[in-house]
Amino acid sequence: MQKRLIVNHQLLEIMVLRLCHQLIESHGDFSDSVILGLQPRGKFVAQRIQRTLASILGREVPTGYLDTTFHRDDFRRRETPLTANATKVDFLVEGKKVILVDDVLYTGRSVRAALDAMIAYGRPASVELLVLIDRLYTRHLPIQATYVGLHVNSLQSQRVLVEWKDQQAGEDNIWLITKNED
Amino acid sequence: MQELSVRHLLGIKDITPQDIQLIFETADNFKEVLNRPIKKVPSLRDITVANVFFENSTRTRLSFELAEKRLSADVINFSSSSSSVKKGETLLDTVNNILAMKVDMIVMRHSSPGAPHFLADHIQANIVNAGDGTHEHPTQALLDAFSIRERLGEVAGKKVVIIGDILHSRVALSNIFALQKLGAEVMVCGPTTLLPKHIKQLGVQVETDVRKALAWCDVANVLRIQLERMQMKYFPSLREYTLYYGIDKKMLDSLDKQITLMHPGPINRGVELSSDAADSHHSIILNQVENGVAIRMAVLFLLAQKQ
């Protein structure tokens, strides 16, 4: 297995800061906006975005975590079983501008499931998608992100891993992992 | 990634403590789903479930049916009272006919202990035992233990007494297995005529004085007197049973501690429980009903992955 560092912690900090400023351009004071991090890994991105926005705006943007396990279209078609994660949405989505947040956009199926799961909480005014990494030419569905940290061209056999200090990693890093072929 | 160690839920005896924890964690997530404005998820939308009830049931069948519909499964219902079973058809023939209609999962209640185990050896569909005679009622035990965990934080280390008709109860046996697997201490309490002869071999304490049992326990799970299963007289009269084993609010308030009161329903009000006890702050009976749907959703969801 080969690991190649594609974003180091300094670059990741700049990337998150840039994404937050782009969000502020669109959402102003966030009075009608909420953030939903997709479980399991988008939660950490959402937390980081929330903290960075709080340091700039001086107030916390409502942030929840959405699990899409029960809405996935590959249930019973996967090699490995699905394990559900907690959903925590303490606010109304009805009429809000929702920012869905995930770490990596790959096939688009998780985002489709997230849209389905989110509708169970009400009808939002609009939905945007923010991802740290957009893997190019890998989409199975016509879904694209509104805010992207970095576009990455990768092979299907490769995997993008986003590590956070919050998850006991040494520092924030994004890796491109290539499995050795036998 | 975790999955169940079994492809049928036939009894608590067959599953591991890890299976129970996985079911609880999945049910936690389904409880959240049940509190959303839209209480439905599409997980089982390509699955057909047959609720095959050879014995009367209201709450268990409704709870399963609701769980299946909340998971978007297609549901068919079968009850023996209005079927060809009355014309002499065998269990296997009945179920094979249902399976020929491309059913993926069967939820079955039967008056004969072991009936779902027999089916599991002969058919491909996932089977959930919804009560087999006086043997096991696994989803009831799971929802009971889940409700204790919800109320008291954990099951391990808690003292649980099961009071009443232990002899005829499938709930009691499944509860004993589930609670012991999760690390609780279990006692059974009732008249000696309603306690199975070798019950101590299951590692439970036995008590015939309900006041002593209540003083010992953190949780009292009170069972219904199953008059329909009693072919002979096990106690002189209902009035006498109530006098010795009935629980009322005064009795609960006289304890120098708060206990949790449970009942799998339906309650014989004024027999095993007085109304003021059943409706008191000690009682989590309605929480059990609510948790039943989440637990059954979790079981169906996890078994569907094992197809």
CA B287, B293, B296 angle in degrees (round to 5)? 125
Report the pLDDT value the prediction gives residue B232, as an integer from 0 to 100: 62
pLDDT at B1: 61
Q: Which residues of B touch A83 (CB under 8 A)?
A: 1-2
Question: Mean pLDDT throughout A17-26?
Answer: 97
Residue A131's closest CA among A55, A34, A38?
Answer: A38
Contact criterion met (CB < 8 Å) for A116 and B42: yes
Determine the pLDDT at residue A102: 97
| Res. A21: pLDDT tops 90 | yes
Count of C-beta atoms within a 10 Å radius of residue A77 = 8
Q: Quote the minimal CA–CA distance from A53 to chain B in Å.
A: 28
Residue pLDDT, tens place only, A95-151: 999 999 999 999 999 999 999 999 888 899 999 999 999 999 999 999 999 999 999
Mean predicted confidence (pLDDT) in B234-252: 90
- Could you report how far apart the first and last alpha carbons of chain B are, in Å? 17
Q: Name the band, by pLDDT with cuts 50, 70 and 90, for residue B91.
A: confident
Query: Which amino acid belongs to residue A50?
Result: Q
For residues B225, B227, B233, B236, the Cα torsion angle rounded to the nearest 10 degrees is 60
Distance CA B26, CA B23 (A): 5
Q: Of B2, B3, B33, which has the smallest distance from its Cβ to A70's Cβ?
A: B33
Residue B77's pLDDT band, with cuts at 50, 70 and 90, is: very high
Q: Where are the alpha helices (DSSP H) in A7-73?
A: 9-27, 42-57
Question: Which pLDDT belongs to residue B265?
Answer: 86
Tell how strand A173-178 and strand A2-7 pair up.
antiparallel
Examine the pLDDT at A54 and tell me if it is beyond 90. yes
**Could you say which DSSP state residue A121 is in?**
T
A85 vs B29: CB contact, 8 Å cut-off? yes
Q: Using N-to-C axis directions, what is the helix angle for B138-152 and B170-181, rounded to 10°?
A: 50
Give the C-alpha separation, A6 to A11, whole Å: 9
Q: What is the pLDDT of residue B117?
A: 95
* Rounded Cα gap, residues B132 and B60, in angstroms: 13
CA atoms of B266 and A66, how far apart (whole Å): 37
Is B72 in CB contact (< 8 Å) with chain A? Answer: no
Q: How high is the pLDDT of residue B257?
A: 92
In this structure, of A173-182, B24-33, B51-60, B112-121, the range with the lowest mean pLDDT score is A173-182
Which one-letter DSSP state was computed for residue A67?
A: -
Burial class of B232 by CB neighbour count within 10 A (0 to 12, 13 to 18, 19+) = exposed
Nearest to B37 among A75, A80, A120 (CB): A120
Q: Tokens for A35?
A: 């953030």
Q: What is the model's pLDDT at position B85? A: 62
pLDDT band at A24 (very low <50, low <70, confident <90, very high): very high
Does pLDDT of A47 surpass 90? yes
**If pLDDT is split at 50, 70 and 90, which confidence band does B226 have?**
confident
Question: Most A CBs within 10 Å: which of B6, B23, B29, as the mutation test of the A interface?
Answer: B29
Question: What confidence score (pLDDT) does residue B113 get?
Answer: 93
Q: The tokens of B303 are what?
A: 């078994």
Global ipTM: 0.72
- Does the CA dihedral B152-B153-B157-B161 come out positive or negative? positive
Alpha helix (H) ranges present in chain B? Answer: 17-34, 59-70, 91-100, 115-120, 138-152, 170-181, 210-216, 238-245, 249-253, 275-278, 285-304
The pLDDT, as a whole number, for residue B118 is: 93
At B155, the amino acid letter reads: V
- Give me the residues paired with residue A173 across strands: A163
Indicate if the pLDDT at residue B120 is higher than 60: yes
Label residue B233 by pLDDT band (50, 70, 90): confident
Reading the block at residue A12, the tokens are 């990741």
Q: What is the pLDDT of residue A92?
A: 87
CB B130 within 8 A of CB B151: no
The radius of gyration of chain A from alpha carbons, rounded to an integer in Å, stands at 16
Three-state secondary structure call for residue B200: helix
Q: Quick check: A182 pLDDT over 60?
A: no
CB neighbours (10 Å) of residue B298? 27
Which phi and psi angles does B231 have, rounded to 5°? -80, -15
Instruction: Provide, as residue numbers in chain A, all residues whose Cβ is less than 8 Å from the Cβ of B37.
Output: 120-122
What local confidence, expressed as pLDDT, does residue A46 receive? Answer: 96
DSSP state of B5: S
How far is Cα B300 from Cα B232, in angstroms, rounded to an integer?
Answer: 38
pLDDT tens by residue, A137-179: 999 999 999 999 999 998 888 899 999 887 776 788 999 998 8
At B228 the pLDDT is: 65
Q: In whole angstroms, what is the distance from residue B125 CA to residue B306 CA?
A: 10
Among B166, B151, B167, B280, residue whose Cα is nearest residue B218: B151
All residues at 6 or more sequence positions from B182 whose CB lies less than 8 Å from its CB, including other chains: B17, B20, B145, B149, B155, B156
- State the nearest Cα–Cα gap between A18 and chain B, in angstroms: 34
Q: What is the pLDDT of residues B6-34, one digit of tens each?
A: 999 999 999 999 999 999 999 999 999 99
User: Backbone phi, then psi, for B45, in 5-degree steps?
Assistant: -70, -15
CB-CB contact of B10 with B170 (8 Å): no
**Chain B stretch 228-287, residues whose beta carbon is closer than 8 A to a beta carbon of chain A:** none
Q: Average model confidence (pLDDT) for chain B?
A: 92
Q: E strand or H helix at A65, and its extent? A: strand A63-66
User: Strand A63-66 to strand B159-163: parallel, antiparallel, or no bridges (unpaired)?
Assistant: unpaired
Average pLDDT over residues A46-64: 95
Residue B104: pLDDT above 90? yes
Q: What is the pLDDT of residue A8?
A: 92
- Band of the pLDDT at B278, cuts 50, 70, 90? very high
Question: Could you tell me how many CB contacts below 8 A there are between chain A and chain B?
Answer: 54
Nearest CA to B49 out of B108, B105, B116, B8 is that of: B105
pLDDT, tens digit, 9 for 90 and up, residues A57-75: 999 999 999 999 999 887 7
* Nearest CA-CA distance, residue B48 and chain A, Å: 14
**Considering CB atoms only, which of B25, B36, B305 is closest to A81?**
B305
